Structures are given as structure tokens and as C-alpha cells.
């Protein structure tokens, strides 16, 4: 395939070298004459293991060259990968000026080309940048409509500096964001890489890169804060994290990674508080761990704001315990939400099968009757009663067995979903709001 690569920095040079090594004919484009000259003399623009030899062989084999001429590169290639820099501005916002310039240049060059051309953005950008800013620029300057002679995709890069060539050939995943679900020739150039190929919407692909990098940063800071506490408590932090990482069910796994409502229960809040208190007594600052409970509380506040925006004063809350499948109400964020709603004068009714049973039999009977009588008195005997009352229905926790009772009454309701209930989403209530989607 004939591929042009815009930007001969870390990402662009590795892509250019590896794609040429894989047999493609690659033209690198960069306004920096020094970088163009380096490539054309068979030298890498960056220091990374193996890249020097790869570039040298690719240039010697006439599969790789570089130019500062955008129009030349566009005329001679079918796909352009855009790998220009997106640095921070002083206020923290992303500087996309290089991207805007390059899309303007590519657009102008495409005006003079009749064959279809695929432009793939690889630079890291805030979701919406490609669709809302770059596609219009490409369309305006090329005179073509996206989907008609001009195709646009987004393909985030996951390589790490220092191991970039290894990472190129061993990516964790290949994500291609494209308009509609049309397959593009882009997936073909990655055909031989040993990684799952994920085709998604452009905005999703853009966001995946931020989710990844945020999580990587969180992991580093988390390990360091735990390490700093371990050190003070004379515990070997590396042994702790070695054991921690062996848990691929709850720790290094998809568990606890579904956006939704706040956490609660008898353990997480208590144990975080105890850890923070101990850190304080050790004069240790652990800002990330310290931000967990305030952030969790904001999620309760977010649910409250959604109820307020919903308008109805008659609220039905499905679920009260801290998660489905238990009657445990200790530090349940749904109890907290209920208290906020009562405090603001909402006419609240609640149904939770497990809590209803516990009211009669369980170990929680006394707590329900004496600890939270103001909430206990709002409990309905069944879902039908809850539905009949609710102008707005909040799904606080959900089990499949609720569906039989819900399905007939849901169509006319406003639903605030805190758990991402697929049954309700599919059914399509009159108004549906997800807490984090
Ligand atoms: N460096 C990494 O490890 C890494 C990893 C994944 C993603 N990314 C993302 O990839 C993008 C590129 O990062 P990088 O580190 O390679 O950047 P870089 O700054 O090393 O290179 C960018 C290159 O783009 C060139 N350029 C600027 N305007 C141009 C134009 N109009 N036409 C052609 N080239 C132009 C610059 O001269 C420069 O050589 C960024 O968005 C970055 O966030 C970087």
C-alpha cells in the first residue's frame, strides 16, 4: 500500500519505519528540513531500540523517503496517517494547531486528486476533535464530502517511548474509529499484528486513549501512595503489589470498572477512612487516596441533580442496599440519596426485595426499624406499588427478576438509571437518563 505519514516525531517515525519494513511504500512528511534530511539519508529522527536499522534498511530498499511537500505525498499515496504533535497549552488545553494546519494542507492537496483518499488521525485528541473540527477542515479545503472520495478515521497509538518498535509489533489492541461501520483499508495494514482489532465510533476511539492514559497515570500514583504508606508501616511495598497483581479477578480485571453509581457498603468507605487516618498520623500526604471519598460523594450529588432536573416530585427508588443481591444497608449510597431526597421534600417510595425480606427476618431488621425508620416507612410492598407512585423511577440496583413487574409499566415513566440497565434501555421509557452515559 502507498502510505504518507505526517509528522516525523516519535509516533510518525516508528510508524513510517515499521510500515516500510512490512513492505508498504511510505512517504514521511515534516516541515522540519533536518528531520526530512535525516530520513532521506537513512537515519532515524529519534533514538529508540531498532529504529535506526529499520529506517536505514527501508530507505536503502527504496520503501521509505521523506519530503516537506504535502501535495507530493498526497498525490503519491492512498492513505495518510497524521502523527503531528498535540502539546499542552499554558492553560492545560490541548494545542491542536499543528493538526489544523496539516488538515488544511491535506485538504488543499486533495482538491487536485480524483482517486479516493483515507485520512487517519493518530495524534491524541479530545473526543469530538476529528468529527467537529478536522473533518470540516478537510471537507472545506478539499471540496469533497466525507464518504465521497474522502474517508476519515481515527486510530490512537499506544506505543511507549523506549520500547516503541517492540510496542508497534506487539500492541495491546488496535482501535480504529471510523464513520459508520464501513471497513477501511486501514485494518489491512495491521492485519499481521497479534492484537485484537476493535472497530468503533471515532469519538469512542478518541476517548479510549484518554481513558488508557488516565488509568496508567492512576496506577503509577496509586502504587506510589500505597508504597509510601507501606514504607512507613515497615511493610515491603513490592511484595504487597506483587500479591495485589496476582488477583486478576477483582484487582486487575474489568471488575469495578463500569461507570455507574457511588460505592458503599461496610468495607470500602471504612477501610479507606482507616488508611487515610493512619497516613495522617504518619504525616504522609496521599492526595489520590484522599480524593476517593469526596469523588464518591459527588456521584450521589450527581444523581440528586438528575432527579431535580427530572421535575417530578413523586420518586420511586428501586433498590436501597449498597448493591444488588444483599440486604446490607451500611453506608449504602442509596440510603444517602434517599435522605437527600426526603430533605428536599420529594415524595419518595422505595422498593428493594432483599431489604423487604430483611425487614421481616434478617439481621438488619433492628437497624432498618430503629436506625433508619424514616426510610423504612417509605418502603413499598411490591414493584407495582412503586411504579404506580413514581413520576420518576430511579434504578438504584437491579436484578433480572424485577423485569417481569417493570416491563408493563415502564413505557410512560421517566427513568434515572444508576446501573445501566439494558432491559430498561431496550424497552425505551418515555424519558431515560443514565448517570454516566
Ligand atoms: N510520544 C509518544 O510516546 C506517543 C504515544 C502515543 C501517542 N502519542 C501522540 O501522538 C502525537 C505525536 O506525538 P510525537 O511524540 O510523535 O510528537 P513529536 O512532537 O515528536 O512529533 C510531531 C512532528 O510533527 C511535525 N509536524 C508539525 N506540523 C506538521 C505538518 N503540518 N505536517 C507534517 N508534520 C508536521 C513536527 O515537526 C514534529 O516532527 C501526539 O498527539 C501524542 O500525544 C505520542
Give mean pLDDT, residues 288-316: 97
Partnered with residue 4 across adjacent β-strands are 27, 80
State the Cα–Cα distance between residues 281 and 261, nearest whole angstrom. Answer: 31
Task: Specify if 279 maps to a domain.
Answer: no
Ligand 1 centroid, distance to 219 Cα (angstroms): 25
In the predicted model, is pLDDT for residue 184 greater than 90? no
pLDDT of residue 370: 82
Q: What is the pLDDT of residues 410-423, one digit of tens each?
A: 999 999 999 999 99
In the predicted model, is pLDDT for residue 284 greater than 60? yes
Give 283's Cβ-side CA count (13 Å radius). Answer: 0
Specify whether 33 is located in the same domain as 176.
yes
Specify whether 53 is located in the same domain as 196.
yes
In the predicted model, is pLDDT for residue 275 greater than 80? yes
Give mean pLDDT, residues 299-314: 95
Q: Is there an atom of ligand 1 within 6 Å of 262 CB?
A: no
Q: Is there an atom of ligand 1 within 6 Å of 9 CB?
A: yes
Residue to mutate, 30, 121, 209, ligand 1, most ligand atoms under 8 Å from C-beta:
30
Specify whether 198 is located in the same domain as 337.
no
Specify whether 21 is located in the same domain as 133.
yes
Give mean pLDDT, residues 314-319: 97
Q: Is there an atom of ligand 1 within 6 Å of 96 CB?
A: no
- Whichever domain contains 191, its CATH number is 3.40.50.720
Specify whether 180 is located in the same domain as 309.
no
Mean pLDDT estimate for the chain: 95
Specify whether 52 is located in the same domain as 185.
yes
pLDDT of residue 354: 87
**Domain finish residue from 177, 202, 227:** 202
**Domain finish residue from 169, 184, 202:** 202
Which atom in ligand 1 lies closest to the alpha carbon of residue 10?
A: 16
Task: Specify if 60 maps to a domain.
Answer: yes
Q: Could you list the active site residues?
A: 267
Q: What are phi and psi of 82, to 5 degrees?
A: -100, 115
Specify whether 305 is located in the same domain as 424.
yes
- Dihedral sign, CA of 388, 393, 395, 396? negative
Q: What is the pLDDT of residues 17-30, one digit of tens each?
A: 999 999 999 999 99
Specify whether 415 is located in the same domain as 301.
yes
Task: Specify if 135 maps to a domain.
Answer: yes
pLDDT of residue 182: 61
DSSP 220: H
pLDDT of residue 373: 87
Domain of residue 56 covers 2-202
Which atom in ligand 1 lies closest to the alpha carbon of residue 161?
A: 3
Q: Is there an atom of ligand 1 within 6 Å of 27 CB?
A: no
Task: Specify if 209 maps to a domain.
Answer: no
DSSP 408: T
Q: What is the pLDDT of residues 359-393, one digit of tens each?
A: 767 677 787 888 888 888 899 999 999 999 999 99
Q: Give the whole-number percent of the chain exceeding pLDDT 70.
A: 98
State the Cα–Cα distance between residues 335 and 352, nearest whole angstrom. Answer: 12
Task: Specify if 180 maps to a domain.
Answer: yes
State the Cα–Cα distance between residues 154 and 106, nearest whole angstrom. Answer: 16
Q: How many CB atoms neighbour CB 434 within 10 A?
A: 18
Q: What is the pLDDT of residues 67-107, one digit of tens each?
A: 999 999 999 999 999 999 999 999 999 999 999 999 999 99
| Count of domains observed in the chain | 2
Q: What is the pLDDT of residues 241-257, one digit of tens each?
A: 999 999 999 999 999 99
Task: Specify if 243 maps to a domain.
Answer: no
Ligand 1 centroid, distance to 136 Cα (angstroms): 21
Contact status, residue 7 vs residue 30, Cβ threshold 8 Å: yes
Specify whether 186 is located in the same domain as 304.
no
Which atom in ligand 1 lies closest to the alpha carbon of residue 158?
A: 6
Longest dimension (CA), the chain: 82
Q: To the nearest 10°, the Cα dihedral for 149, 150, 154, 158? A: 80
State the pairing for strand pair 347-351/314-318.
parallel
**Domain finish residue from 168, 202, 236:** 202
Ligand 1 centroid, distance to 123 Cα (angstroms): 7
Q: How many CB atoms neighbour CB 86 within 10 A?
A: 17
Task: Specify if 172 maps to a domain.
Answer: yes
- Report CA-CA distances (Å) from 251 to 244, 256, 277, 326, 437: 7, 8, 23, 22, 24
Give 13's Cβ-side CA count (13 Å radius). Answer: 26
Residue to mutate, 4, 6, 8, 9, ligand 1, most ligand atoms under 8 Å from C-beta:
9
Task: Specify if 213 maps to a domain.
Answer: no
Amino acid at each position: 500500500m502507498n502510505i504518507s505519514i505526517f509528522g516525523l516525531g516519535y509516533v510518525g517515525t516508528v510508524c513510517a519505519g515499521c510500515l516500510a519494513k512490512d513492505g508498504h511504500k511510505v512517504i514521511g512528511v515534516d516541515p522540519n528540513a533536518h528531520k526530512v534530511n535525516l530520513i532521506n539519508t537513512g537515519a532515524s529522527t529519534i533514538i529508540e531500540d531498532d529504529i535506526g536499522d529499520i529506517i536505514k534498511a527501508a530507505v536503502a530498499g527504496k520503501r521509505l523517503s521523506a519530503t516537506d511537500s504535502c501535495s507530493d505525498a498526497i498525490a503519491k499515496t492512498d492513505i495518510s496517517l497524521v502523527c503531528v504533535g498535540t502539546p499542552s497549552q499554558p492553560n492545560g488545553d490541548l494545542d491542536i494547531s499543528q493538526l489544523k494546519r496539516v488538515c488544511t494542507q491535506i485538504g488543499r492537496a486533495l482538491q487536485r486528486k480524483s482517486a479516493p483518499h483515507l485520512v487517519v488521525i493518530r495524534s491524541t485528541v479530545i473526543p469530538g476533535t476529528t468529527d467537529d473540527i478536522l473533518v470540516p477542515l478537510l471537507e472545506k479545503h478539499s471540496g469533497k464530502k466525507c464518504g465521497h472520495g474522502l474517508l476519515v478515521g481515527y486510530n490512537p497509538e499506544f506505543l511507549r517511548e523506549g520500547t516503541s518498535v517492540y510496542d508497534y509489533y506487539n500492541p495491546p489492541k488496535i482501535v480504529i474509529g471510523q464513520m459508520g461501520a464501513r471497513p477501511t483499508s486501514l485494518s489491512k495494514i495491521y492485519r499481521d499484528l497479534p492484537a485484537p482489532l476493535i472497530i468503533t465510533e471515532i469519538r469512542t476511539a478518541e476517548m479510549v486513549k484518554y481513558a488508557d492514559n488516565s488509568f496508567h497515570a492512576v496506577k503509577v500514583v496509586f502504587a506510589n501512595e500505597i508504597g509510601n504508606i507501606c514504607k512507613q508501616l515497615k511493610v515491603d511495598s513490592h511484595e504487597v503489589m506483587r500479591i495485589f497483581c496476582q488477583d486478576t479477578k477483582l484487582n486487575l480485571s474489568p471488575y469495578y470498572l463500569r461507570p455507574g453509581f457511588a460505592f458503599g457498603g461496610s468495607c470500602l468507605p471504612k477501610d479507606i477512612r482507616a488508611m487515610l487516618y493512619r497516613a495522617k498520623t504518619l504525616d504522609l500526604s496521599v492526595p489520590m487516596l484522599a480524593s476517593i471519598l469526596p469523588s464518591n460523594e459527588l456521584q450521589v450529588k450527581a444523581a440528586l441533580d438528575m432527579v431535580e432536573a427530572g421535575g417530578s416530585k413523586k420518586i420511586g427508588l428501586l433498590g436501597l442496599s449498597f448493591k444488588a443481591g444483599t440486604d446490607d444497608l451500611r453506608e449504602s449510597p442509596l440510603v444517602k440519596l434517599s435522605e437527600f431526597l426526603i430533605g428536599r421534600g420529594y415524595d419518595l417510595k422505595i422498593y428493594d426485595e432483599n431489604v423487604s425480606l430483611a425487614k421481616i427476618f434478617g439481621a438488619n431488621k433492628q437497624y432498618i426499624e430503629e436506625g433508619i425508620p424514616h426510610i423504612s416507612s417509605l418502603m413499598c410492598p411490591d414493584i407495582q406499588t412503586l411504579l404506580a407512585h413514581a413520576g420518576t423511577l430511579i434504578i438504584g440496583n437491579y436484578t433480572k427478576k424485577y423485569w417481569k413487574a417493570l416491563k408493563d409499566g415502564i413505557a410512560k415513566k421517566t427513568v434515572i438509571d444508576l446501573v445501566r440497565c439494558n432491559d430498561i434501555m431496550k424497552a425505551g421509557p418515555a424519558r431515560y437518563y443514565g448517570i454516566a452515559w
